[in-house]
Structure 1
Amino acid sequence: MLKPLTLLTTVTTVTLLIGCSNGDQTMQDRSTLPCANKPNCVSTQDSREKFSLAPYTLTPLATLDAIEIAALSLGRAKTAEKQPNYLRVEYTSKVFRFVDDLELRIEGNQLIVRSESRTGHSDFGVNRERADALRRALKEAGLI
């Protein structure tokens, strides 16, 4: 009887540690990298159809601060990193607390956008939906 209890405790502890490790990670800027070959990422820098996003052309009104406000308005989001032309926003799923990273970089009048799940193979289209929602929010704000 003791062994199943020990196993259950070990599995629970490992699950909690993995779950807690999804947030607040120190990450390298991957905004200009193409997606890996998993259907949990979309990017303006990836030319493959299932991963690619149409360009986001910025208006003269666009600033990183204004873009950040639009990105945070999508819900369950927090700014994880901000530099002069780079922003990484973390989105946490409601039920399982999975973390996705939205990386945004301003280069000239273009906004590089990359949205990717940290864990799992498929995201069931969540990152593409987020990128589309960001595009709508940026248009409504007059930023693209």
Structure 2
Amino acid sequence: MSNVKNIFQNSPISPLFIAESITKHSTKTEIGAHQIFLGQIRADEIDDKTVKAIEYTAYEDLALTQMATIREEIFIKYNLKCMHIHHSLGVVNTGEICLFVFTSSKHRKDATLACNEVVERIKNELPIWGREIFEDETHQWKINQ
């Protein structure tokens, strides 16, 4: 499948990368709206233990194939000019960004609806798992909410 784009990176997503992504779109003057979702690791308290990081793993080939299908469906459903998706693999500490979804369209409604749908579909349909690592170094598999 030639339209499969790699959404994964083995690190947190840096604020500088996000800023550069936004900056690159300033020359695309047919765009009137951008919608951005940033997923950040929370220091959740679970059973009197605090999360210090999440370690992400994925069945990458399947996830990328499924993401290509989702991408095609979203472009058909909404009048988008651009869509960029970046998801971390490996350990991401609290306060760091693990998911960056960036949609652009002529008008805000398409960008907003598309971004929200992409985030929900990533969480619900892709084989990506997070293992919560607590401050005491114990861990458990995360349940998506």
TM class, shorter-chain normalised? 0.3 to 0.5
Q: Which has the higher contact order (CA 8 A, sep 6+)?
A: 2
Q: Which has the higher strand share?
A: 2
Greater Rg, structure 1 or structure 2? 1
